[in-house]
Amino acid sequence: MAVKDSRSGVGRGLHGITASNSNTRISATRIPNRLASGSPVAALASENLGLNSERMREAMVQRLHAQGITHDQVLAAMQLIPRHVFVDQALASRAYDDASLPIGHGQTISQPWVVARMIAAVCNATMPARVLEVGTGCGYQAAVMAKVFAQVHSIERIRALYDTAKEHLRLLRLTKVRLVHGDGMLGLPSVAPFDAIVVAAAGIRIPQALLAQLRIGGVLIAPEGTSAQRLIRVTRTGASSWDRQELEEVRFVPLKAGVQT
């Protein structure tokens, strides 16, 4: 196997994040979250949000654009998917903050910037069609991807989260997402190859099984590391070669093998 390594870290000041178990970017850049009220009630709006949900999503998307997310289809998908549906009702008022939030079982729903960044990072000149997500969690990232890609497969190792994600996606009628309860480190060899793979948990290294399930020309993005983590973007360049690029510093929950029932 030949792996070409290049670094492309952004030139921003960094500081620590207080949450020790969160899917978030580590960055000193904070853009104020100005939220207005008064928009029409979304069909699936939480009681905690009422009239604010659509306007909150619009403000979130404007913030993402200001933070460097410029992919039109990704931004449109972030605008369409109601993030508050995927969090506990007690946290619904924070659903559109630029922060990760707990979803139980030691897991989190990723920071909106991280979701948008990772999805945009696997979009080449030719839009990926078949995409694998490792780590479904509550289903939010899979829901956003369903508005961007033609076919989404997603693996979740924790049965309770798998069941929760399945219900969320059913509620939103996102039938193109195919959920699997299984070991994400093994991928889905029966469905491979994939045009893109998005990994929502950090391992010491990216599993070779996932790299092998990329088609040639396909792109994988994943956090890598333990205490110090970075997003890694890998492009498969040949039968036994991959090009590796280091991106931003992040902090993700750990990637684990096996399943939890």
How does DSSP assign 134-159, residue by residue? E--TTSHHHHHHHTTSSEEEEEESBH
Tokens linked to 138: 């509550």
- Residue 194 has, within 13 A of its CA and on its CB side, a CA count of 31
> Distance (Å, rounded) from C-alpha 119 to C-alpha 129?
13
As a whole number, mean pLDDT of residues 5-32 equals 46
As a whole number, mean pLDDT of residues 7-18 equals 33
Instruction: State yes or no: is 110 an active-site residue.
Output: yes
Q: Is the pLDDT of residue 206 over 90?
A: yes
- pLDDT the model gives residue 227: 85
CA-angle at 251, arms to 257 and 112, nearest 5°: 105
By C-alpha distance, which of 109, 106, 105 is closest to 96? 109
Q: What is the pLDDT of residues 41-72, one digit of tens each?
A: 334 444 545 457 889 999 999 999 999 999 99
By C-alpha distance, which of 187, 27, 197, 204 is closest to 99? 27
Q: Is the pLDDT of residue 104 over 70?
A: yes
DSSP code of 61? H
Q: Is the pLDDT of residue 40 over 80?
A: no
- 85 touches 44 (CB < 8 A): yes
- 127 touches 84 (CB < 8 A): no
User: What class has domain 2-251?
Assistant: alpha beta
* Range 227-231 contact pairs with CB under 8 angstroms and sequence separation of 24 or more: 229/202, 230/9, 231/117, 231/118, 231/121
Q: What is the pLDDT of residues 147-205, one digit of tens each?
A: 999 999 999 999 999 999 999 999 999 999 999 999 999 999 999 999 999 999 999 99
DSSP code of 4? E
Q: Is the pLDDT of residue 19 over 70?
A: no
Domain layout of the chain by residue ranges: 2-251
Indicate the pTM of the whole model: 0.85
Q: Among the options 22, 27, 100, 110, which is catalytic?
A: 110
